[in-house]
Amino acid sequence: MIKADNLIKDYGTVRALQGISFEIKDGEFYGLLGPNGAGKTTTISILSTIIAPDQGSVQIAGYDLKKDPEQCKRSIGVVPQEIALYNKLSAYDNLLFWGSLYGVAPATLKTRIDEILTLFGLSDRKNDRVDTYSGGMKRRINIASALLHRPKVLLMDEPTVGIDPQSRNLIFEVLEKLHKEGMTIIYTTHYMEEAERFCDRIGIIDKGAIIAQGTLAELQNTGGIKESIAVTFNELKDDLKAKLNSTISGEFTFTDNILTYSSAHVKNDLSKLIIQCNEAGADISHIEIQKVNLETVFLALTGKQLRD
Ligand SMILES: Nc1ncnc2c1ncn2[C@@H]1O[C@H](COP(=O)(O)OP(=O)(O)OP(=O)(O)O)[C@@H](O)[C@H]1O
Ligand SMILES: [Mg+2]
């Protein structure tokens, strides 16, 4: 459905994209996960024909973006990072505006607006001016406006930043529904929880490059990262530490009074580790299993945190 091949984009001397490639299948929910400045918006802006790449090509729904931009545009709905609404107009009038801009016939448009207002839980506020809306409500209308022409592909750029939990949950429910109905979705975020929750496949983007790509399970196996068990002791004197060192078999390190044991089979090793600690006479105060998540994958690949 979407194929991006070796996209390069420079802003003056800043190389924002340095050869981005991905292929997204029909009906796939693809996440682009990366920190501030990674190149997420630049990628979305290229796919939505707002800016042109300096090099590389894009195909959407079988059309080449450079040769057939109009055909490509017909297939996509775009939810930009910055909310694009007319504050002085009502939600209804904003949707009328965006729907006609996307070329929806007037007779169809009114029915669709009513449907979409219900879907986003805003029917009762449809005649109120957008400047009386909360951030989350504006966000919902912003997303709704990208769906009126029933696009095959939805491009979303960080649609849940800074909104209330209620709006966030509603947006998640709508996205899950659209995904079930077969829409192809590209979703950029710097929240690993969102990428983990929704995406069939995730591209991890950093400094204008996709540094890893795959399903969550595939990414969790990237870079040889292991799960770990963190055992906190009430007290860890040197003699006890020495005893633990000789009793415990496996890969582990000490930091203050915490022992971090890493393994490819943490669940299997857990009871053995507790027994070994007891044998050494250690007083355990807390045990925590540290799973491999996208944050740890990102850390292993880049040496830095996903969030700053
Ligand atoms: N119009 C511009 N002029 C100059 N540099 C830009 C411009 N837009 C983006 N950049 C730079 O290009 C790089 C990629 O920016 P981009 O906005 O695509 O990142 P992002 O992943 O969307 O970040 P964020 O999470 O902050 O939205 C950054 O280094 C940014 O400073
Ligand atoms: Mg951005």
Is 40 close to ligand 1, i.e. is its CB under 6 Å away? Answer: yes
> How far does residue 15's CA lie from ligand 2's centre (Å)?
15
* 47 C-beta closer than 6 A to ligand 1: no
Strand partners, 22: 4
Q: What is the pLDDT along the chain (308 residues), one digit of tens a residue?
A: 999 999 999 999 999 999 999 999 999 999 999 999 999 999 999 999 999 999 999 999 999 999 999 999 999 999 999 998 999 999 999 999 999 998 899 999 999 999 999 999 999 999 999 999 999 999 999 999 999 999 999 999 999 998 999 999 999 999 999 999 999 999 999 999 999 998 999 999 999 999 999 999 999 888 678 889 999 999 888 888 888 888 888 889 998 899 999 988 888 889 989 998 888 888 999 999 988 889 889 988 888 888 76
Instruction: Tell me how far apart the alpha carbons of residues 204 and 97 are, in angstroms, rounded to a whole number.
Output: 35
Residue 16 beta carbon below 6 angstroms from any ligand 1 atom = yes
Q: Do 233 and 291 form a contact (C-beta atoms < 8 A)?
A: no
- Testing ligand 1's pocket by substitution, the residue of 32, 41, 191, 194 carrying the most ligand atoms inside 8 A of its CB is 41
The answer, yes or no, to whether any atom of ligand 1 lies below 6 A from the CB of 37, is yes
CA distance 97 to 130: 13
Query: Is ligand 1 within 6 A of the CB of residue 50?
Result: no
Domain ranges across the chain: 2-220, 226-291
The angle that helices 91-101 and 106-119 make with each other, rounded to 10 degrees, is 130
Spell out the residues 6+ positions from residue 203 whose beta carbon is closer than 8 angstroms to its own: 22, 30, 31, 32, 33, 210, 212, 213
**Is there an atom of ligand 1 within 6 Å of 90 CB?**
no
Question: Helix and strand tally (H, E) in the chain?
Answer: 11, 14
Q: Give the ligand with the smallest distance to the CA of 17.
A: 1
Nearest CA to ligand 1 atom 30: 37
List, for residues 174-191, the tens digit of each pLDDT value: 999 999 999 999 999 999
Atom 12 of ligand 1: nearest residue by CA position? 16
pLDDT tens for each residue of 85-139 = 999 999 999 999 999 998 899 999 999 999 999 999 999 999 999 999 999 999 9
Q: How many residues does the chain have?
A: 308
CA of 38 to the centre of ligand 1 (A): 7
CATH architecture assigned to 226-291: 2-Layer Sandwich (3.30)
If one residue of 7, 8, 11, 156 were mutated to test the ligand 1 pocket, choosing by the most ligand atoms within 8 A of its CB, it would be: 11
CATH class of segment(s) 2-220: alpha beta
- CA–centroid distance for 204 within its chain: 9
Whole-number pLDDT of residue 308: 63
**How is residue 241 written in tokens?**
């530490």
pTM above 0.85, yes or no: yes
The CA radius of gyration of the chain, in Å to the nearest whole number, is 24
Helix (H) / strand (E) element for 30: namely strand 29-33
Place of tokens 């995904």: 179
Burial of 193 (0-12, 13-18, 19+ CB in 10 A): exposed
Quote the pLDDT of residue 112: 97
Residue with CA at minimum distance from ligand 1 atom 2 = 11
